[in-house]
Amino acid sequence: MSSYGSALPSAARSILSSCRPAARQSPMAPFLSTFYQQQLRGAKSNNPQAQGKGKKAAKAKPKKGAREFTQRDLKDIQQFSLCDAMRYIRAMEVGREPTISKYEIHIRLKTKKDGPVIRNMLRFPHSVQTESRICVVCPSGTKHEKDARAAGAVLVGEDEVFDAVKNGKIEFDRLICHPDSLAALNKAGLGRVLGPRGLMPSAKTGTVVEDVASRVEMLRGGTIYRERDAVIRIPIGQLAFSPEQLRDNLRATIDQVKKDASGLNDRIVKEIYEVVLSSTHGAGFSLNGEFKSDDSPDTTALRGV
């Protein structure tokens, strides 16, 4: 009896093991299809390293899990034209302060889980924020200080900035540092205060620069964005914007993101996969790329409060 009992699991095991290779064949199909698309496009067709890093690698080491963010087929999803989405969002946001409620865009990317992320700054054709306040840390009494003030920085200096921050008075949205005063900034030990707010200057984020004045100029109309978990989220317009204004901003954003994606690295392939329009209090509407549909209202109706 006992021998029979022990034989059964082993038999089951052999059946399972015979099945397994067949089961493993299935992930091969999507990989092949993407590979095929790449060849069709003629981009990176003979780059074995890049291809090896895709789902093939995941197949060799199943413990590591998927190497790419899962992107499901968008066929079953309801998608909207820009004007229709705006009509719904404006209805959901009715009665809110039009300068406070913002349209947001969520750009979902087809990308790997590791590797570099997109991270940049963007200037919209139609400014979203009401003037951001900028603080500059640079040695006082120098040319840089004068330039920064002329460019429109709110707070400029070294010790006065440190004192203000230590007293908990952070009356600015961005902090830029000149390399000459970086040592002083690090010595002041403000990382604990500024770090969690994302204000600590570092060369990586482009907030430690020689040419302070031009950076201030740029930051005053710019919005920072970065990719998190394969999604880039950016506020893209105020609720009072007209569809045309929103379309201009949307176009600028997508162009910039595409440029960033192509500028990253030869081996990294990032593609825009889905664009979702939502707002501060509204639902998310997947866009189908059209500007307006047949039954969407006149564009003049979709602006203001």
Partner 1 sequence: MVNLFKRMRKLRSILDVTVGTGAAILPTPATSTKEFPPITRLHLTYAQKIYNGHQGARHFWRQCLPRLKYHNPSIPMTVKQTEEQDGPAALTIYFAEHASNAATLNAAKDINDKYAPAAGESEKTAVVDLRDLDWKRIWDKVRVMTGAKEVQASAKEEEEVKKLEQMAVQSVKDQERNAKIRQTKRDQERMLQEARGEVERLRQT
Residues forming contacts to partner 1 in the complex (CB under 8 A) are 69-72, 74, 76-78, 87-88, 90-92, 94-96, 108, 229-231, 283-285, 297-298, 300-302, 304-305
Nearest distance from C-beta of residue 304 to partner 1, angstroms: 6
- Phi/psi at 200 (nearest 5 deg)? -65, 125
Comparison of 41 and 75: residue with beta carbon closer to partner 1? 75
- Check if the beta carbon of residue 73 is closer than 8 Å to that of residue 243: no
CB of 267 to partner 1, least distance (A): 24
In the complex, least distance from residue 192 CB atom to partner 1, rounded to whole angstroms: 34
Tokens of 240: 């009072």
Reading the block at residue 291, the tokens are 């500007």
Q: Which is nearer to partner 1, 224 or 301 (CB)?
A: 301
Identify the DSSP state of 191. Answer: H
Q: Is 88 exposed, middle or buried (0-12, 13-18, 19+ CB in 10 A)?
A: middle
> Which of 65, 196 has the CB closer to partner 1?
65
Nearer to partner 1, 137 or 302 (CB): 302
CA–CA gap between residue 7 and residue 1 (Å, rounded): 10
Minimal distance in Å, beta carbon 118 to partner 1?
17
Strand order in the sheet with 174-177: 155-157, 134-137, 174-177
In the structure encoding, which two tokens stand for residue 39, read together? 């060849």
Minimum CB distance to partner 1 smaller for 236 or for 276: 276
* Least Å from the CB of residue 105 to partner 1: 16
